[in-house]
Amino acid sequence: MRIKKIQLYVFKEVLNPFLGGVFFFAFVFLLFQMLRLAEELIVNNAPFGLVLKLLWTLIVNFLPLGLPLAFLLGVLFAFSRLSGDSEIVAMKAGGMSLSSISKPVFALAFLVSLLSLFLNLDWSPWSEVASRQVLMKIGNRKFMSSVSEGTFSSGFFNLIMFTERVNHRVGKMEKVFIFDERDQKHPLTVVAKNGELIRVQSNEDDLGGVVLQLQNGSIHQSDIQKNSYNLANFDTYQIYFDIPDSSGKFGYRPKMLGFKELQAKRAAPDLAEGERRELATEFWRRITVAMAPLFFVLMGIGFGTVKTRGTRSSVLLVAFITMGLYWQTQVSTIWLSDHGTLPAWLALQIPNLLVALLGGFMFKRAAW
């Protein structure tokens, strides 16, 4: 019973800084992302629902990287404090070995790895796709602010537009001039007394398209081949513009594929060798990153007990140096795997093997 209480105490000592680290790193990550996106969000007047969805997808996309870092930090903080306050010495003097003290920490490492695995296999690819869809929807709102009164502008769906007066709040214009040369053989010039932008959407955050409705004007068309000129007057003239990529379709990348999609694509018989290696690299990257906390626990206990002696600055330094070297090594092994120098299953295990060797050595030093 005494041993179980001590192990539960150690478990809580690691869990609290781990959870704090997750919230802290998520906050810092979102802060940098929001600083980068703030101008675009404000200028494009993004709906609050889209902003919340963007924040959620960014957090989910960050967690596969944030969880291992927060876990390593939590173990370092816990064992450096326990070592600094001589609690590790007291536990060992009471007959407990470091392995026995560390059992709850290994259990927590297993849980963190399991959660990381679920994130890497399906949740992270979903968030990658969802965040791109949201960013495109927000970016596509630029057409609302691309028209300036008294100025020729070309940012409105590749048209050259001039309007004497414009009300951005309601999307209405007066004395509109449009030059449309999307069909270079039949360029159009449209002049209208009034114009209005009307959004076409199926739900709150789906932009769909926009209709430019012109009233009391004329259409001037030139046919260069026939050397002819046509004029047509109208009371109402509507031009529909489909917003590009409003369906969220964009370039394929392996990290956007869910686990089943990734496996199905890897099994395709007509797949090019380069693409096959790229898919294998992505598959093993997800597996090895999820396994990282199982090896970080050795390093965290070893360095926390032997090196840091309760100094928080040392804990942070060790954590960031370790993670920096780990991710840099992983980038190199991804290159080796993509170019066929090493098999993907072997190349992507190199960062974990290095951490296991160094962590095992430090854990052995701490287990006197």
Residue ranges of alpha helices (H) inside the chain are 2-43, 48-84, 87-93, 98-118, 124-139, 259-266, 273-303, 312-338, 344-347, 350-366
Domain range annotation of the chain: 146-242
The amino acid that residue 166 corresponds to is V
Helix (H, G, I), strand (E, B) or coil at 361: helix
The residue among 337, 238, 324 whose CA lies nearest residue 287 is 337
pTM: 0.71
Helix (H, G, I), strand (E, B) or coil at 47: coil
Give the tokens for residue 303.
């360095």
Quote the pLDDT of residue 92. Answer: 83
**Could you give the CA distance from residue 262 to residue 62 in angstroms, rounded to a whole number?**
20
**What are the contacts of 215-221 at 24+ separation with CB within 8 A?**
216/192, 217/176, 217/190, 217/191, 217/192, 217/193, 218/190, 218/191, 218/192, 219/188, 219/189, 219/190, 220/188, 220/189, 220/190, 220/191, 221/186, 221/187, 221/188, 221/189
Quote the pLDDT of residue 293. Answer: 92
CB neighbour list of residue 354: distance below 8 Å, 6 or more residues apart: 329
Quote the pLDDT of residue 319. Answer: 79
Quote the pLDDT of residue 231. Answer: 86
The DSSP result for 290-334, as a single string, is HHHHHHHHHHHHHHIIIIITT-HHHHHHHHHHHHHHHHHHHHHHH
Task: Tell me the mean pLDDT per 10 residues along the chain, length 368.
Answer: 82 92 87 72 68 86 88 90 84 85 92 93 88 70 65 74 78 85 79 81 52 88 75 87 52 79 86 88 92 90 69 71 87 91 92 91 80
**Could you give the CA distance from residue 1 to residue 102 in angstroms, rounded to a whole number?**
16
Quote the pLDDT of residue 109. Answer: 94
Q: For residue 238, what are the β-bridge partners?
A: 213
